[in-house]
Structure 1
């Protein structure tokens, strides 16, 4: 991941910077559902993730080689390790859990509790202490997420280890986020680190997809739309804004914006797939907004 942290005082000179980054982060983070909804109709999850990461890495590769500091083997190794954590284990863990019949609503709920894990880790690892108001805001945001997700929750019949896998994947990304914030000695532009992360993920996802069949992509319109969405918005926008925000703001503040991902995902589904909106979704959105506002003001 990117590894240079700018003083928070610099960020405070731009009062509109955080609202802008938070808005872009929420749009990017919640849009992964859209790309998967299109592409997963035509391909298995591992094949989908292979092409998502491969295309992302190949698009970034010429820019990573031509723009920015020279890539040393040590830097590539360090970034590849973060790529394994933040791309392969995080995305792949949830994908495997879904394939093992863990209900999608439950997987999404556990994934959206990521900010809670990051908030818990930020104090012992980073020394970023949350105030009582921020902890209260975190609790309120979690309640909002539960309200939004309640109608889609079920426990299914998956093996016990698959449920643990969803929790483990979420915790791995939380650990990767706080480690990213702590590393300040080796500067690397976002496009270079994200290139290494996605190419590392593509190798591992490719090996997994090979065990299930061919790596050839489905030559269909829906798969192409899904890939464009996943690469440009769910990867480039979401990851790049997330990593950039971690340079400028406390990690708990940045991650709190992810609490708004479930209600915004519901809006995506309504706009693009005509899925119904309920009163509970709007109530959950309102509660979550209050919690995120309290957490971000700390």
Structure 2
């Protein structure tokens, strides 16, 4: 059955829209990173999300979780919001190319599949083949744009932190809090992430901001489509689908980002990158389409 089942037709739209919006993360980083440090930018971004969600909640009352669920939602949010985004942006700021960050984070579906038994999921041989094929596709996409030289160790540490944060954040939410009101959950997750960003900004950053059109545009896009739109879609996909299937969609992020960079910044788009795009699309199909007779493995 495909990721978009007949019972949940919303997923047929949620998946491609999620991939598109999620892929813009590197694009807004390129616009905003030269003018603001990561934690400072994310503090403003998450504060904006809280303001928007607060207005929504005034007119559309949510169902708040109990104390135990609130704790689980907050932990998942700290990993998915603060840990992942802060790791990616910090790695880029320290000199790691977006392509290399994408390659490292792009390995995430493999770790998710390996850890699938923790959330009582089983991964078929076909899905494992698709996951490995996805790594090959991501590698082709970023190979020509990736540089491993003269990158500080701290950048790799931040990229790996992002890798583990989104992996275990997805698994944690799938296991402990897959069902919650999106309005209440967003308020909880962005509240804890905002506090963490503020703490990092106060302790380690200068908090200097150069205000201009790119920064304002990056903030607005980060607040509305990326933070509210993409994260809500991710929650829906986690709720409805298996964690391995959901995370396999992230294989499409580097190719989609490469296409955006080609359109927006006139970056080269080679035959190798197009081949990688084809492989990643095939990989996602293999992971998300599974016949009932497919053999299972852990």
What TM-score do the two structures reach when normalised by structure 2?
A: 0.87
Map of 2:120 onto structure 1:
127
Gaps of at least 5 residues in structure 1 are 1-7
Within 5 A, what are the aligned runs for 1:172-187? Answer: 172-183=165-176, 187=179
Gaps of at least 5 residues in structure 2 are 291-298
Q: For 1:157 and 1:36, locate their aligned partners in 2 and report how far apart those are by CA, in whole Å.
A: 21
Q: For 2:8 and 2:107, locate their aligned partners in 1 and report how far apart those are by CA, in whole Å.
A: 27
**Other structure's SS at 2:180 match:** coil
**1:168 shift after superposition:** 3.2
1:228 to 214, 220, 225: 220
Map of 2:79 onto structure 1:
85
Give the CA RMSD over aligned residues.
Answer: 2.5
1:29 to 22, 31, 52: 22
Map of 1:115 onto structure 2:
109
What TM-score do the two structures reach when normalised by structure 1?
A: 0.87
2:190 to 193, 198, 202: 198
Map of 2:5 onto structure 1:
12
Moved more, 261-270 or 81-90: 81-90
CA contact (8 A) 2:107 2:135 kept: yes
Q: Are the structure 2 counterparts of residues 169 and 182 from structure 1 closer, same or farther at C-alpha, using a change threshold of 3 Å?
A: same
Map of 1:53 onto structure 2:
46
**Other structure's SS at 1:53 match:** helix
CA contact (8 A) 1:100 1:162 kept: yes
**Other structure's SS at 1:13 match:** coil
CA contact (8 A) 2:84 2:165 kept: yes
**1:128 shift after superposition:** 1.2
Map of 1:270 onto structure 2:
262
1:96 pairs with 2:96:
no
Map of 1:137 onto structure 2:
130
**Other structure's SS at 2:115 match:** helix
Q: For 1:74 and 1:58, locate their aligned partners in 2 and report how far apart those are by CA, in whole Å.
A: 25
**Other structure's SS at 1:152 match:** coil
Q: For 1:146 and 1:191, locate their aligned partners in 2 and report how far apart those are by CA, in whole Å.
A: 37
CA contact (8 A) 2:21 2:225 kept: yes
